[in-house]
């Protein structure tokens, strides 16, 4: 719902600026209040009069025209619930990433402390430029969301990635961001992600196909819902919250246990290897004359089951510094290629976790490496809830809303 929400739109000097007119109309039809900031070059592509009529508000451009003795870059920042920059040029992306505030739009961006979304649009060669990609990673690390451009025919005559993403995608991203509740404010949420790596020798290892995308979506959603997030991952994602990079199951176990005593939620979304090599070779194993090779594997610790046992164990007194009574909600994940519900029911009973998220990895349209998922939530009381196929960030939010209100 956008009724009475305040949306601040920044328009920069790209040909896609004209498309934002339709987006403004859609926001207004949904009941939102819209104000617009243009860079000087943006007005070469769309007129101020058009934007004023669509938004039913003044269009802001100059930085030194304060109203009611309030500097505009502060008053606009205070007014808005969310800031959207679309289209975002390479120039403006670079300025915001580096903290340059040389016009009204970049000054507002510098002062803005709430949710910000940018939708880049530029020539495909500019998009692939190393500096542009580095600037985007910098913005991501600050919690700024960006909607990647799409492939297609560009105004400059090139075919490639650089077109402004669909207006529907932008609208949905803003709508989703505005409707995040702060259900997890003040809570500490520990989330694991990615597939663990069990080394065989200095060049080989045992792992799995987990991309870490589901864990990342959960971590970002928990952060947007106000949580203090600790993200324990085998993948080096750019995130605006605490990140702990691990490799093996043993390293992940150590990192999770370190955070467990002070956690309100632990969500084990990582694909942890069941086995590791008993003896890692310190040197690369050379190919010999034999047609086969035998590796002796040993079972890895069951991090999820161990946490559930630890939760039930008597707490040592006095409590360790920062620790709290063990009422932590523990959530496991279950990736199955057959008999999804049967295996999930057996797993939640065996592990003893509060919730179990089951997903079918036999389907190619969801799960590993996909941007979408479809999951079934089981709780320890035997209740089952299915979340239909949707982008992982939407699935993540629904999972968090479900486990935090039950």
Can you list the domains of the chain with their CATH numbers? 6-178 (3.40.50.1950), 188-405 (3.40.50.10300)
Whether 182 has a pLDDT exceeding 90, the answer reads no
Candidate from 71-80, 91-100, 109-118 with smallest mean pLDDT: 71-80
Render pLDDT for 342-370 as a digit per residue (tens, 0 to 9).
999 999 999 999 999 999 888 888 878 88
> What pLDDT score does 379 carry?
95
| Sheet with 384-391, side-by-side order of all strands | 242-245, 228-233, 188-193, 265-268, 329-336, 355-360, 372-379, 384-391
Whether 66 has a pLDDT exceeding 70, the answer reads no
List phi, psi (to 5°) of 101: -125, 75
> What pLDDT score does 369 carry?
82
Whether 281 has a pLDDT exceeding 80, the answer reads yes
List phi, psi (to 5°) of 397: -65, -40
> What pLDDT score does 367 carry?
72
Whether 34 has a pLDDT exceeding 70, the answer reads yes
> What pLDDT score does 210 carry?
94
Q: Taking residues 315-323, report their average pLDDT.
A: 63
> What pLDDT score does 283 carry?
95
Sorting pLDDT into bands at 50, 70 and 90, what band is 317? low
Q: Give this prediction's pTM.
A: 0.83
Q: Taking residues 112-139, report their average pLDDT.
A: 96
Placement of tokens 């952060």 in the chain: 223
Render pLDDT for 184-198 as a digit per residue (tens, 0 to 9).
999 999 999 999 999
Sorting pLDDT into bands at 50, 70 and 90, what band is 270? very high
Question: Is 156 noted as a catalytic residue in this protein?
Answer: yes
> What pLDDT score does 387 carry?
95
Proportion of the chain above pLDDT 90, given as a percent: 80
Beta strand extents in 72-211 (DSSP E only): 82-88, 115-120, 145-146, 150-153, 159-163, 188-193, 198-201, 204-206
Whether 67 has a pLDDT exceeding 60, the answer reads no
Query: Two tokens at 172?
Result: 């949905």
Q: Which of 253, 102, 132 is nearest to 192 (CA)?
A: 253
> What pLDDT score does 38 carry?
96
Annotated active-site residue in 38, 110, 156, 165: 156
Proportion of the chain above pLDDT 70, given as a percent: 95
Render pLDDT for 203-251 as a digit per residue (tens, 0 to 9).
999 999 999 999 999 999 999 999 999 999 999 999 999 999 999 999 9
What are the helix (H) ranges across 225-359?
249-260, 303-312, 340-351
Whether 400 has a pLDDT exceeding 90, the answer reads yes
Q: Calculate the average pLDDT of the chain.
A: 92
């Amino acid at each position: 719902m956008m009724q009475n929400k305040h949306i601040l739109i920044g328009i920069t000097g790209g040909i896609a600026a004209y498309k934002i007119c339709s987006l403004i109309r859609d926001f207004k039809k949904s009941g939102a209040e819209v104000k617009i900031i243009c860079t000087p070059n943006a007005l070469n592509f769309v007129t101020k009069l058009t934007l004023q009529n669509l938004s039913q508000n003044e269009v802001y451009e100059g930085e030194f025209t304060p109203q009611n003795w309030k500097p505009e870059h502060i008053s606009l920042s205070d007014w808005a619930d969310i800031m959207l920059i679309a289209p975002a040029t390479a120039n403006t992306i670079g300025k915001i990433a580096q903290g340059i505030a040389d016009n009204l739009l970049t000054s507002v961006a510098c002062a803005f402390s709430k949710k910000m979304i940018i939708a880049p649009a530029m020539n495909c060669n500019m998009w692939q430029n190393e500096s542009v990609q580095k600037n985007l990673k910098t913005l991501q690390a600050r919690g700024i969301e960006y909607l990647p451009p799409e492939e297609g025919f560009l105004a400059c005559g090139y075919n490639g990635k650089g077109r402004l993403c669909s207006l529907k995608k932008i609208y949905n991203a803003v709508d989703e961001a505005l409707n995040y509740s702060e259900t997890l404010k003040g809570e500490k949420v520990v989330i694991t992600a990615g597939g663990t790596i069990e080394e065989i020798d200095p060049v080989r290892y045992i792992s799995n196909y987990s991309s870490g995308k589901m864990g990342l979506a959960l971590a970002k959603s928990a952060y947007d819902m106000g949580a203090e997030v600790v993200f324990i991952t085998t993948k080096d994602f750019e995130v605006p919250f605490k990140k702990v990079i691990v490799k093996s199951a043993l390293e992940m176990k150590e990192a999770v246990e370190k955070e467990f005593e002070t956690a309100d939620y632990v969500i084990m979304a990582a694909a942890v290897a069941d086995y590791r090599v008993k003896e890692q070779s310190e040197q690369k194993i050379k190919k010999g004359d034999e047609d086969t090779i035998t590796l002796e594997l040993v079972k890895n610790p069951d991090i999820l089951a161990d946490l559930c046992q630890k939760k039930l164990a008597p707490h040592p007194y006095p409590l360790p510094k920062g620790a709290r009574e063990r009422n932590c909600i523990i959530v496991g994940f279950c990736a199955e290629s057959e008999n999804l519900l049967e295996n999930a029911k057996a797993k939640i009973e065996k592990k003893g976790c509060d919730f179990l998220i089951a997903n079918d990895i036999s389907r190619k349209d969801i799960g590993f490496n996909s941007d979408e998922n479809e999951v079934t939530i089981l709780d320890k009381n035997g209740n089952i809830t299915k979340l239909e196929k949707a982008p992982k960030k939407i699935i993540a939010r629904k999972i968090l809303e479900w486990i935090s209100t039950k």
